[in-house]
Amino acid sequence: FRTIQLDSETLGVLERLKSQQKSNREEYAEFYCRYFETPERTAASDPEPHILNTDGIGEEIFFLNVNADGSYIRPRTMQHASYVIHTELDFPEFDFHSLRHTHCTELLEAGFSPKAVQMRLGHKDIKTTLNIYEHITQSQEDKAAMILEDMYSSD
């Protein structure tokens, strides 16, 4: 678990999503799917702790990615969407995990410190961040060329 900073645009999207989900809960009423996490055991007969359930046992969990009726959107659904982008839309290098790589590269390109990006992505070793997740963009290549030009120009 880690805490990360979010920009105002992302926070706005999350607020709108929360509002839409509240509206959906009211509209679907008793048919809205609610999820709960079982609490720590206080007796041997208690259910296994930290198990997701729809029986109302424990604290309610509010997922971000749910259908209008509150039902959980399974990871396989996102994997399938990525597969469609990858194959049907002919983006051979894309998979869902690519978004983490893109986020890393964009943060570093924008001037985030490598250590801040490492912490944001939750990597134990900064080598993972820099050797696996960062990718060189055309913008970075162009900037390098300008720096070299400035360094070695005969002015």
User: Taking 90 as the threshold, does the pLDDT of residue 128 lie above it?
Assistant: yes
Query: What's the rounded mean pLDDT across residues 3-26?
Result: 95
Closest by alpha carbon to 62, among 113, 109, 25, 99? Answer: 25
**Residue 51, pLDDT above cutoff 80:** yes
- How far apart are the C-alpha atoms of 68 and 25, rounded to whole Å? 8
Selection from 78, 38, 68 nearest residue 56 by Cα = 38
DSSP-assigned beta bridge partners for residue 66: 72
Secondary-structure percent of the chain, ordered helix, strand, coil, rounded to 5: 55, 5, 40
**Average pLDDT for the chain:** 90
Q: Is the pLDDT of residue 56 over 90?
A: yes
How many CB atoms lie under 10 A from the CB of residue 52? 12
pLDDT at 98: 84
Per the CB < 8 A criterion, the answer to whether 81 and 65 are in contact is no
**Percentage above 90 pLDDT, the chain:** 57
Give pTM, 2 decimals: 0.70
